[in-house]
Chains A and B, each alone.
Chain A
Amino acid sequence: MSSDPTISRRRFLESLAAVGVVVACGPTAAPAPSASSSASAPVATAKPVSIEWWRRNYTPGSQNAETITSDAAVKGWKERNPNFTITIQGGPFGPETDQKFDIAILQQKAGPDVFHTTGGDVLKYAAAGQLSEPPLTDAERRDFNPSALQATTYKGKVVAYPLWIVPWFEYINLDLFKEAGVTPPKDGNWTYDEFLAAAKKLTFKRANGKQAYGFAHANDEFAFMLIDGGRPYDKDVKTWTFNSADAVSGLEKWVALAQAKVMPPDFLTLNPNDSQARFLSGDIAILQRPSAMINVLNADKNWEFGKNWDIANFPKAKGDQTAWGGVGFIAVREQQDADKKAAAHQFAKYLTGPDIGPDLKKQTPPVEYWLAPAGRTSAAGIYGEYHPAKAKVAKMGAFTYVLPNVSTWSEIDQKYMRPARDAALEGKKTPKQALDEVTPAAQRLLDEANK
């Protein structure tokens, strides 16, 4: 008969891409006051401490990014603090591993001393009182990206360390632009009208007979709805506003792309991996994805930044220049053992701070720790140093709209917003109709999150 029901593993972290590594370290030391100086001065009289760190997709012996950077981080930290042991635990990406985390942290109230977490989880764990508040100095607080801090604030308190912000932007295939005779946007800036016109011209049959399409995106975001200024919530995150006139017109602009047939016929089913694969095959001229795609392109010798591909911003429409983004966090678990907890905080600061990047770069072989631009200004530059494309991206943090943390967002997103978006894009409902229909459910869920 068929096998035991197995479940798809991927892609639930979606916009909230970060993988945190938290390792507890030596006894409490007062955090260094200056944000730019080392927040992790070696602790001389460290009594031996051992902590447990949980990181998704950590698999000893494998070559995936999470494993490599975790091992390297432990090495880097041990060089500064030789007296403690870190054991790392992982599990493949996916909701089942998320479940494992939940069971440990929420129900057993045991498990990791330090762990990576994403937006929705942060609120979940904070509500259960399982997160220990980071002891941040004012300088450190200022160092963090404000919307990232906002996203990790629960009932007025910051409950985790923002690790990195993952912005979405447009990847453009310069070869296709050349073949279609379209000038790439200067400095990466373009208006919506310019964008639409370009996409239309970029939907053409190439010299080799393959059909190229102007634009594509994966099914895990709603970035286009932001460009006229639309936002899911009001400033206080109390009212659902994703059916405002601006959001509706943003969706209309998106639907116009579908109607102009500048997107491939499978545009509604592209999951992130697929969308990237299509771009790599040379089928798509403009692809909307987060910064992680840079690594994918760099790994392929047919793609050279500046020659074959470039980065552009979101098209600008009525609103200010914006980008959609997600945040990853590192959290420290609230527990009785004060030493372990303090050590965990020390390490969390290392992991989110300016020192870890240079430390890991100095290792043999050098390890690129940052998989996305850091959430702290002092550390942001290092991501940019890895590659010119990343340098371009590092500057985008300023205008990236980070989705505020709402504990029921996952349900709003998957159960209501995505079908609404699909219905509008397919032409089955008008944008206004689709968005209005889900507003009551969305507001209800938002109220529930705010209770």
Chain B
Amino acid sequence: MSSTNRLPVHVLLIVAGVLSLFPLYWLFLTSLSPTQYVVRVPPEVVPRELTVGNYQPIVRWLVNTVVIAGVITLFHLLFDSMAGYAFAKRRFPGKDVMFWLVVSTLTVPAQVTLIPVFFILRTLGLLDTYPGVILPGLADVFGVFLMKQFIQTLPTEYEHAARVDGASEWQVYRHIIVPLSRPALAVLAIFTFQRYWNAFIFPLVILRDPAKYPVQVGLATLQGEFNTDYGMLMTGAAVAALPLIAVFFAFQRYFIEGIRIGGVKG
């Protein structure tokens, strides 16, 4: 496409982007306005007064969430790429059954598994602990499906070549599959981190001690029975959104074109 053709594309993309961003804009806007303007109807689209909110308990919640989401993401990167590789490229008895089992349970909403998981955790003595929140998070299988789809597209020749060169199974995984999967891993990291950053219902039910609350659960306590401190709520949400943005920028550089390093054909 020549440069002159690109202007309409840019215009289109910017319009679509702005429309999609409107809720986020609103979020940051209301975090800076005093509560009374937030609940005004019609809502104030252009801020009249900007104030800085009170951040106290949010810091603790953020730290908790970083730990929880971070640990879950790291383990997912490892486990999901391993399992995705196995399902994509390896043949073994029971593979199809296992894969379909895994995919089929994606359809079951969290509300249904909530109570049984609660009791399992109780039996394991993991209620109100960080592992109690982290372990169920490691069981979700969107990432396996994602990695499988991606790894499937990698040419098998690379693996064969490596084996011919005497690489062990683990080395094939570690030195061929993983580097080639970087874009998918980056996406997985972003998605997983975000998913568990915003986790609510599981941590709420499993944790008792408010000092362990992740940020969404903490923010929920700002909603009073009789009235809600919207300003504080939005501030907290805005602050909570920042690490997600940071993670995105950290990982998005892995979507590099031509990441295929050399390769079999030279």
Complex CA gap A1/B119 in Å reads 28
Complex interface residues of chain B between 189 and 213 (CB less than 8 A to chain A): 191, 194-202, 204-205, 208, 210
How near does chain A come to B124, taking the closest CB pair, in angstroms?
15
Complex CA gap A278/B191 in Å reads 38
Also in contact, A10 and B56, with CB within 8 A (given A59-B210, A92-B217, A281-B40) = no
**A277, B221: Cβ atoms closer than 8 Å:** no
**Cβ contacts under 8 Å, B262 to chain A:** none
Nearest opposing residue in chain B for A104, CB measure: B208
We find that the number of chain B residues with CB closer than 8 angstroms to chain A is 42
**Cβ contacts under 8 Å, B222 to chain A:** 62, 64
**Cβ contacts under 8 Å, A296 to chain B:** 226-227
* Per-residue A-contact encoding for B10-21, CB less than 8 Å = 1, 0 else: 000000000000
Residue ranges of A at the interface with B (Cβ–Cβ < 8 Å): 1-7, 9-10, 13, 17, 19, 56-57, 59-66, 89-94, 96-97, 99-100, 103, 107-108, 273-274, 276-278, 280-281, 283, 292-293, 295-296, 299-300, 371
Name B's interface SS: helix
Complex CA gap A7/B202 in Å reads 11
How near does chain B come to A438, taking the closest CB pair, in angstroms?
26
**Cβ contacts under 8 Å, B40 to chain A:** 277, 280-281
Complex CA gap A65/B226 in Å reads 9
**A4, B142: Cβ atoms closer than 8 Å:** no
Nearest opposing residue in chain A for B220, CB measure: A92
**B224, A7: Cβ atoms closer than 8 Å:** no
**B210, A66: Cβ atoms closer than 8 Å:** no
**A59, B198: Cβ atoms closer than 8 Å:** no
**B110, A103: Cβ atoms closer than 8 Å:** no
How near does chain A come to B45, taking the closest CB pair, in angstroms?
15
Complex CA gap A107/B123 in Å reads 13
B36 at the binding interface (Cβ < 8 Å): yes
Also in contact, A278 and B41, with CB within 8 A (given A90-B210, A96-B204) = yes
**B201, A100: Cβ atoms closer than 8 Å:** no
B109 at the binding interface (Cβ < 8 Å): yes
Pick 10 A–B contacts, CB within 8 A, sort by A.
A4-B201, A64-B222, A64-B229, A93-B223, A103-B115, A273-B227, A277-B40, A281-B40, A292-B226, A292-B227
B111 at the binding interface (Cβ < 8 Å): yes
How near does chain A come to B187, taking the closest CB pair, in angstroms?
10
Also in contact, A1 and B142, with CB within 8 A (given A59-B57, A96-B204, A292-B225) = yes
Complex interface residues of chain B between 83 and 135 (CB less than 8 A to chain A): 109-111, 114-115, 118-119, 122
**Cβ contacts under 8 Å, A107 to chain B:** 119
**A3, B195: Cβ atoms closer than 8 Å:** yes
**Cβ contacts under 8 Å, B217 to chain A:** 92
CB < 8 Å A-B pair total? 119
**B57, A89: Cβ atoms closer than 8 Å:** no
B252 at the binding interface (Cβ < 8 Å): no
Name A's interface SS: loop
**Cβ contacts under 8 Å, A277 to chain B:** 39-41
**A3, B199: Cβ atoms closer than 8 Å:** yes
Among B41, B196, B229, residue most surrounded by chain A Cβ atoms (within 10 Å): B41
**Cβ contacts under 8 Å, B65 to chain A:** none
B216 at the binding interface (Cβ < 8 Å): yes
**A4, B210: Cβ atoms closer than 8 Å:** no
Complex CA gap A61/B195 in Å reads 27
**A9, B110: Cβ atoms closer than 8 Å:** no
Among B200, B225, B226, residue most surrounded by chain A Cβ atoms (within 10 Å): B226
Among A3, A61, A108, residue most surrounded by chain B Cβ atoms (within 10 Å): A3
**Cβ contacts under 8 Å, B168 to chain A:** none
Also in contact, A96 and B225, with CB within 8 A (given A4-B195, A61-B56, A61-B57) = no
Also in contact, A57 and B109, with CB within 8 A (given A62-B57, A99-B205, A281-B41) = no
Complex CA gap A299/B221 in Å reads 20
**B223, A17: Cβ atoms closer than 8 Å:** no
**Cβ contacts under 8 Å, B171 to chain A:** none
**Cβ contacts under 8 Å, A57 to chain B:** 221, 224-225
**B202, A4: Cβ atoms closer than 8 Å:** yes
Which of A4, A7, A90, A91 is in CB contact (< 8 Å) with B196?
A4
How near does chain A come to B181, taking the closest CB pair, in angstroms?
18
Also in contact, A96 and B201, with CB within 8 A (given A3-B194, A5-B109, A371-B226) = yes
**B225, A4: Cβ atoms closer than 8 Å:** no
**A3, B198: Cβ atoms closer than 8 Å:** yes
**B110, A17: Cβ atoms closer than 8 Å:** no
Nearest opposing residue in chain B for A299, CB measure: B227
Complex CA gap A283/B221 in Å reads 29
Complex CA gap A296/B227 in Å reads 7
Complex CA gap A326/B114 in Å reads 30
How near does chain A come to B33, taking the closest CB pair, in angstroms?
14
**B205, A19: Cβ atoms closer than 8 Å:** no
**B205, A96: Cβ atoms closer than 8 Å:** yes
**Cβ contacts under 8 Å, B220 to chain A:** 9, 92-94
